[in-house]
Amino acid sequence: MSNESIKQFEDRVKNTIKKFNLIDKNDKLVVACSGGKDSTTVLYLMKKLGYNVEALTVDLLIGDWSKKNLDNLKKFCKDNEIKLHEINIRKELGYSICYIRSTIQSKTNLNNCMICGVMKRWLINKKARDLRATKLVTGHNMDDEAQTIFMNIINGNPKLSLYLGPRSGVRDKKFIERIKPLYLCSEEEVTQYSRMMNFPVLYKPCPCSLNSFRRKVKNILDDYETRNHSAKYNIVTTFLEIKPKLKRLYKDEEIIYCKSCGEPARKDMCKVCRLMSIVQN
Ligand code: SF4
Ligand code: ZN
């Protein structure tokens, strides 16, 4: 990536923020960080663009992988003078994600990322709200979004895509709106940018995701993209065109509050409380 390509990449992120009206100047941004290339890139750019930004991470306690990512993130935040907030999953939920997952999987057929994703989103939303964040920034890129749209179709659940897009999530006072400034950047471009900027990150996937459905879909889309270079862009932009129609087709479910933890939910109990009751019983 040349200096020219770095500028083009940064301009695309700026244009994405402008095009989708992602950030107001008074926003307090909290970036959900894993220590990986995507969230580190978006954290760096939010700081570089002059926004009021802090970093938030969940230590999932996935052995050496979590430890290295956390060390990298601490170094990055220190070097860039960004305040980092850490959530330790054992302190919050009583166990490591590996224990939570294996216990749930001994009784259900839920996959690794589904369980882990639910826990992380719940922890991050709660903490971002405590930090008085007005927007929660994620490192989701165009590949991630195209994969999710595709997965929801394959699973026969396009309704779930209602919560996708560059500004995503549900509208609720207890839910911090999520924004995705890398929405129109491919994973390859983010990787090149991160390498060029010498960010201290691991370029290895999470060890728990190797057999995931997402990874299989990723391989299909990557393979197809070698023959049709705009495949992922087409999936994402077509989705944005039809999203208003999807909204009319599927009525949004009402948000209520979990009777156990008080967090936003669609049933009496939120997904985290339902899953944790499996772990504890
Ligand atoms: Fe969790 Fe899956 Fe992400 Fe690994 S890849 S951290 S298991 S959601
Ligand atoms: Zn709950």
| pLDDT tens digits along 144-154 | 999 999 999 99
Encoded tokens for 268: 């009496």
- How far the first Cα of the chain sits from its last, in Å, is 52
| pLDDT tens digits along 59-86 | 999 999 999 999 999 999 999 999 999 9
Residue ID of nearest Cα to ligand 1 atom 8: 113
Please state, in angstroms and rounded to a whole number, the distance separating the CA atoms of residues 73 and 65.
12
Q: Is 116 in the pocket of ligand 1 (CB under 6 A)?
A: yes
Residue in this structure with the two tokens 């430890």, named with its chain if needed: 67
pLDDT number for residue 171:
80
* C-alpha dist (Å) from residue 274 to 115, 118, 129: 11, 11, 22
**How far does residue 57's CA lie from ligand 1's centre (Å)?**
13
pLDDT number for residue 124:
98
Residue ID of nearest Cα to ligand 1 atom 4: 206
Q: Is 209 in the pocket of ligand 1 (CB under 6 A)?
A: yes
Q: Burial-class residue 44 by CB neighbours within 10 Å (0-12, 13-18, 19+).
A: buried
Residue ID of nearest Cα to ligand 1 atom 7: 113
Rounded to whole angstroms, the maximal C-alpha distance in the chain is 57
Please state, in angstroms and rounded to a whole number, the distance separating the CA atoms of residues 34 and 124.
11
pLDDT in tens, the chain (281 residues): 788 889 999 999 999 999 999 999 999 999 999 999 999 999 999 999 999 999 999 999 999 999 999 999 999 999 999 999 999 999 999 999 999 999 999 999 998 999 999 999 999 999 999 999 999 999 999 999 999 999 999 999 998 898 899 998 678 899 999 999 999 999 999 999 999 999 999 998 898 887 788 999 999 999 999 998 899 999 999 999 999 999 888 877 788 999 999 999 989 999 999 999 999 98
pLDDT number for residue 120:
97
* C-alpha dist (Å) from residue 137 to 2, 31, 182, 208, 215: 27, 5, 10, 24, 23
**How far does residue 111's CA lie from ligand 2's centre (Å)?**
20
The answer to whether 157 and 247 have CB atoms below 8 angstroms apart is no
pLDDT number for residue 198:
97
Nearest residue to 126 (alpha-carbon basis) of 98, 94, 92: 92
pTM of the predicted model over 0.85 = yes
The answer to whether 6 and 196 have CB atoms below 8 angstroms apart is yes
